[in-house]
């Protein structure tokens, strides 16, 4: 700040190239961030020292400093990683190769999660490189999922068309985790325009993909989707299996996303309440009925009734609460409180 000529500014600025590695060794990241932010300020002001500051920033990005930060990030605890993230974000495109390397090298999901946070904060400048990486299809499944997730969080229209085309390839990938992540990101960047893709996902052979498709259809409030999902629910109830239990719970959870739609002269609230009456009786009378609801399914129904339930839900939920205990009883009580706290007029939505 006190430099009065070019030589003085460069002398001090270049000294940072030697100082920063020593600060990294000592875990003094706030000081590193202050140095980089000061150089960026001079560069962005476009005044006397702008070109010189830009030159030094380029040297920082090209040299050993990003690699030293990468190694620290990979080997350190959460607190250190949290201190390094703002430095990565400040260096922007200069550290994208290092962040990609972290995603490829690390088997620790929290390390990868923190690297993803940095890429999301860097934003559209990172997106172009990430889309190119995806298009090459040379990454392992975990890294590919991480990159797809990051691109879904970066809000920019510049790369979305090319990303959509890539994602449409991944929804037919053999790995179900990758397929499920592709569905989620398609929801984030395309929403309703991907309705047909989500509907096709209901027929997927993998349970997790079908669950993700149900959730996506609920998020876009698909009228076609709710009818198909009700058909799927009746199939599950008619032919129950251990595998279908979690899918059933996901369907009940998704009803709360759709709202209290009227389908075939019945509201979704009425569908949920009928399910409680027929298959939740073990909670009230102490005996098991055929195909009783699991605790997860009961919890999912409560979650949805907390969003769409009306006065008619309170009576059945109150009966259920009396014969329940532990976390489920607390959830039921909370659901009743949410319903009572809302406007008691039914929020009926009839498909056009």
Q: What is the pLDDT of residues 89-128, one digit of tens each?
A: 999 988 999 999 999 999 999 999 999 999 999 988 888 8
3-state SS, residue 5: coil
H helix runs in 106-193, sequence order: 109-122, 124-136, 141-153, 160-170, 176-190
Our separate counts of H helices and E strands in the chain read: 20, 3
- Stretch 316-320: mean pLDDT, rounded? 85
DSSP 8-state symbol, 344: -
pLDDT above 90: percentage of residues in the chain: 46
Residue 169 confidence (pLDDT): 86
3-state SS, residue 349: strand
Q: Tell me the pLDDT of the chain averaged across its residues.
A: 86
Report residue 32 as tokens: 């590193």
CA-to-CA distance for 162 and 127, rounded, in angstroms?
11
3-state SS, residue 294: coil
Q: Is 45 buried (19+), middle (13-18) or exposed (0-12) by CB count in 10 A?
A: exposed
Do strands 348-349 and 260-263 pair parallel, antiparallel, or not at all (unpaired)?
parallel
CA-to-CA distance for 56 and 51, rounded, in angstroms?
9
- Stretch 12-23: mean pLDDT, rounded? 87
Q: Which of 206, 238, 205, 232 is nearest to 217 (CA)?
A: 232
- Summarised one tens digit per residue, pLDDT across range 224-256 is 999 999 999 999 988 888 888 899 999 999 999
């Amino acid at each position: 700040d006190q430099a009065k000529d070019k030589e003085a500014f460069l002398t001090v600025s270049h000294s940072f190239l030697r100082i920063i590695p020593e600060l990294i060794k000592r875990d003094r990241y706030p000081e590193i961030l202050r140095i980089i932010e000061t150089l960026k300020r001079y560069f962005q002001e476009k005044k006397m020292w702008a070109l010189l500051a830009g030159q030094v920033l380029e040297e920082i990005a090209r040299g050993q400093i990003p690699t030293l930060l990468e190694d620290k990030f990979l080997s350190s605890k959460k607190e250190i990683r949290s201190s390094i993230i703002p430095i990565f974000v400040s260096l922007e495109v200069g550290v994208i190769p290092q962040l990609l390397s972290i995603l490829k090298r690390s088997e620790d999901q929290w390390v990868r999660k923190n690297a993803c946070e940095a890429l999301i904060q860097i934003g559209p400048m990172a997106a172009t490189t990430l889309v190119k990486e995806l298009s090459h299809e040379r990454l392992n499944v975990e890294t590919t999922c991480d990159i797809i997730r990051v691109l879904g969080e970066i809000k920019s229209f510049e790369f979305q068309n090319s990303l959509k085309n890539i994602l449409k390839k991944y929804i037919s990938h053999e790995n179900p985790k990758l397929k499920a992540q592709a569905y989620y990101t398609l929801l984030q960047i395309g929403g309703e325009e991907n309705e047909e893709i989500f509907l096709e996902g209901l027929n997927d052979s993998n349970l997790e993909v079908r669950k993700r498709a149900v959730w996506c259809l609920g998020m876009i409030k698909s009228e076609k989707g709710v009818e198909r999902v009700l058909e799927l629910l009746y199939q599950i109830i008619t032919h129950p299996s251990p595998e279908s239990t979690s899918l059933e719970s996901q369907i009940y959870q998704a009803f709360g996303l759709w709202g209290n739609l009227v389908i075939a002269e019945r509201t979704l609230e009425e569908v949920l309440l009928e399910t409680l009456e027929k298959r939740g009786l073990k909670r009230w009378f102490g005996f098991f009925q055929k195909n009783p609801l699991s605790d997860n399914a009961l919890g999912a129904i409560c979650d949805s009734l907390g969003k769409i339930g009306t006065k008619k839900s309170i009576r059945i939920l109150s009966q259920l609460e009396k014969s329940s205990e532990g976390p489920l009883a607390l959830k039921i009580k909370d659901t009743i409180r949410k319903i009572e706290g809302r406007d008691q007029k039914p929020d009926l939505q009839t498909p056009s």
